[in-house]
Structure 1
């Protein structure tokens, strides 16, 4: 405990130099209910292995008349995915006023339309549950904000105020709305900082009372069985006018402090930072192995999408080559679709503006929408593409074609083979298409990929082998079943990128104990491609098997022909899944 107090005080003295660091550290420890003699976190420990994979879902993605939405979600997870996935990220399930949950009214309550804490605890008892800590802002309709305007506690010092006369020219914005919003309080008009929207008012972490409150929130979530915490929009959490107000040193310090508290309360708890920013800035949230346990791999979605619609993997390959291995105790959180759009900022410096414009045009041709942001120079630029991933992969630059399903499965085979922990959006598992009606009803671009399924209808479609939903779902489950058995797919297993030309994306994985090697090779084009096995330098004394097709290769001098978007996972020590319906991906 002495070492914990020393580290906490060091962080607190940096964040709050005018406060009594020792007294504040004691208060935080008591709030988190850390007891002397409790289990100490083991440095550089991996709280995951190759069997770990997550599904991302809203609490109300599956609706029916006879069950609460959270009960439907639990039923779906336990009856369809218990042998495929280890965890679930339920997107904000709290009472909210906008942004489909990310404008939180009350952090301690479950939205009654979804269920209540007993339903959350039941899911957490069976799956590793990830919950959002919406840490940068809360709803303008929250009790905290009402108290702020009335100058009452808790809340009167909780929100970040700005001065219209401040130099805000450097502030990095993800939106086009006005940053400072005028608000009437008992003390007159004030201007509150709203990074994302007028309904999402930024919290003021320069006030230590806000920190104490969020430690209390996290402690409460731990008591409900939640083990994994996604820090939403955390890059924006500390503001200093005259700076970009993103990724400031105090932000990194705050994440480090919260990690200390969380892992001393539960040693296997995991913090994941959600930072939709350029790649180098994103990597900084690993810290020195003392910050985020995992970071969202935000560059992967736009680069993989670009690869598959252009048939050229050169940018993705180069990025993979420069991606530093995550040290033990840290991991990449890999995803290629989510409730948000496909972010374009993480592709900055990798794709040229012309390539981004070409990608945007192609996605608009597949029914996609574009969300914009204001830049410090006053110009507007594309922030993200809003589209369902299944429709995003409907074709190539030339337009839609007949390879949509194969291309879609190839994308997931690539992601599932990569270093890191994979996460699959529920609408990717179900091959859900663009919901244009929902966009029209909400006037919100992101609604295009936030469809709400009638659960009985979905179950009927999944039972119908002729539907593309059933076909994709079964193929995705098979990919997951194969992956989870292979030690070479441990999130921290060695990865080397191979040079097989621009049409074949390939990388080599080796298990931490070196007992298994897997060569993951993917045809990213709509044309057959040849692969000479001699180019892989396979060890002839080993028996090499394609985990996806089941074929054993005895002649290592032969040349294979990969069909459009076909993937191979060549393993020298395969753990095969007993399933005669193994699809060729």
Structure 2
């Protein structure tokens, strides 16, 4: 964090900036106070009247050493031990310096959706631990936390006060007339949008974008904004350095509109960024917007909204590439992606607690490709979640499957190359422009949890396994077990990645043209000293290709970082085994024999 505190003049500039944000957000709303007074309230809540820093524009708060593990607080459990303590022990014992950051999915009291229906934002779920445990994790790794900002639990004190018609929260929720035309509203679910609720003020119809247990906030009320600024202040004090704005695209509602990606939503994000970066200039906002790619990119703003956006198109495109043996669509997409300007970056992932989103593939994969991908994943044990289109027709929204099982074969069926295909997927993702996020169940090679799915009847449960720590330790101690092999290989990739300047999240990237069975791209470090040619055979057959297709500089020595093998420039060709990746570099910054 910068130790240069803002001057009185800069603090006044902050107030002016906040007032401008608020004037835009509430331009159509009659407030009970003027926006300058509201700015003062927000400054006081954040403590910026006492300590205010001046952020540096377009500054990168990350490097190639940043890797984020995504996990639930109780993905690993041990008898008579708090899950957050078990999680920290696992990270310290098995991950070490390979993973320096952790995204602990909602660790608050909740009523449904595995944490995303928050009952109380200000406390830690007693079943996981307490704030002391959270702060201990934050001392050792950069901590990422969800800000579930669009909705909360219908069992929260706020919503109970809404039902009573009095107290804090009684006016926090968005309601609409029962007969309102919602045809244009974009949603990721097929349930009824409005929940009929009997309140002290009569029957109200509450807006529920996701489920009837997840009631949407009404940000037209500035008291809702104040409450969330208070929550942000608390999380910063508890050690959170990365905020994941969950489902933020749906935040602002306006009857007669799509109620997604509205200008007011973007302005709220800008306002919260202004507050956060003046408090902690090194804190980062990541927006979770599971929407078509072109819409997702808008959340960068002009480097004044999200610091990072989820690269939601990557999972369906990369998995499609590996099960079809053609990188046509992945390569087209990568070529179309704009380089992230300084102060922004992509958050890359191929597996998470949710499934493989298909909306971000719309316009990138045609319906035939999407349907083929869905059918292949179903053959490998996956489930499909649906949404309603504007015309009311069901359409696949998400594939629910463990990544290890998703890559156990191709469109032709299962084969013996699943492990190689799985490692190839991560070798590609770890090398791409951006910060990699790796799901704990990918690190462990966890497979579909059919028992949990049967118990919950929730599709997403199939990829939300809960490991008994002792059983996991036994598997990881067995060198022949695939869980041990997966963790060792992925850690090996990461240990190499974090040493390479050319893998800085903002390092230059260009797509290579090597045909459809080889997927490749070139990275160059910010100081232009290191180049890495990343080439993967995404096919189930051996491929021989010409060395000169990479345009390596003949006067330099080149090495494959993944095997340690020197590239013999006198040879005319290189050979890649099925799903083998090469990271060919002109600098030996740390190599390993992974094959």
TM-score by length of 2: 0.97
Distance 1:57 1:243 in 2: 35
Deviations 1:364-395 (A, max 9, x none): 00000000011121111000000000000000
1:530 positional shift: 1.1
2:262 is aligned to 248
Matched, 1:532 2:532: no
Distance 1:556-1:268 versus aligned 2 partners, 3 A rule: farther
2:513 is aligned to 499
1:4 is aligned to 14
1:523 is aligned to 537
Distance 1:248-1:28 versus aligned 2 partners, 3 A rule: same
Matched, 1:300 2:319: no
1:576 positional shift: 1.4
Matched, 1:583 2:573: no
Matched, 1:355 2:369: yes
Moved over 4 A (4+): none
Distance 2:195 2:53 in 1: 46
Question: Residues 51 and 279 of structure 2 are in contact (CA less than 8 Å); yes or no, is this contact kept in structure 1?
Answer: no
Give the unaligned 5+ runs of structure 1: none
Residue among 6, 9, 23 paired with 1:13: 23
Distance 1:297 1:177 in 2: 27
2:389 is aligned to 375
2:528 is aligned to 514
Residue among 127, 132, 136 paired with 2:146: 132
Distance 1:547 1:190 in 2: 62
Distance 2:521 2:446 in 1: 29
1:331 positional shift: 0.4
Distance 1:112 1:194 in 2: 27
Matched, 1:222 2:222: no
Distance 2:542 2:141 in 1: 40
Q: Secondary structure at the match of 1:251?
A: helix
2:587 is aligned to 573
Deviations 1:130-189 (A, max 9, x none): 000000000000000000011122101100001122221100010011000100001110
1:199 is aligned to 213
Distance 1:369 1:440 in 2: 12
Deviations 1:73-117 (A, max 9, x none): 000111111210110000000000000000000000100000000
Residue among 62, 67, 73 paired with 1:53: 67
Deviations 1:51-71 (A, max 9, x none): 000000000000111311000
2:431 is aligned to 417
Q: Secondary structure at the match of 2:486?
A: helix
Q: How many residues align?
A: 581
Distance 1:76-1:37 versus aligned 2 partners, 3 A rule: closer
Q: Secondary structure at the match of 1:88?
A: strand
Q: Secondary structure at the match of 1:291?
A: coil
1:570 positional shift: 0.2
Distance 1:338 1:218 in 2: 24
Q: Secondary structure at the match of 1:542?
A: coil
Which structure 2 residues correspond to residues 36-435 of structure 1 after superposition, within 5 A?
38-435=52-449
1:556 positional shift: 4.9
Deviations 1:346-367 (A, max 9, x none): 0000101011000000000000
Distance 2:388 2:102 in 1: 33
Distance 2:295 2:51 in 1: 37
1:35 positional shift: 3.5
1:516 positional shift: 0.1
The Cα RMSD (Å) is: 0.9
Please identify, of 6-15 and 104-113, the stretch whose mean Cα deviation from structure 2 is larger: 6-15
2:452 is aligned to 438
Please identify, of 157-166 and 432-441, the stretch whose mean Cα deviation from structure 2 is larger: 157-166
Deviations 1:188-214 (A, max 9, x none): 100000000000000110100000000
TM-score by length of 1: 0.98
1:473 is aligned to 487
Distance 2:343 2:559 in 1: 31
Q: Secondary structure at the match of 1:552?
A: coil
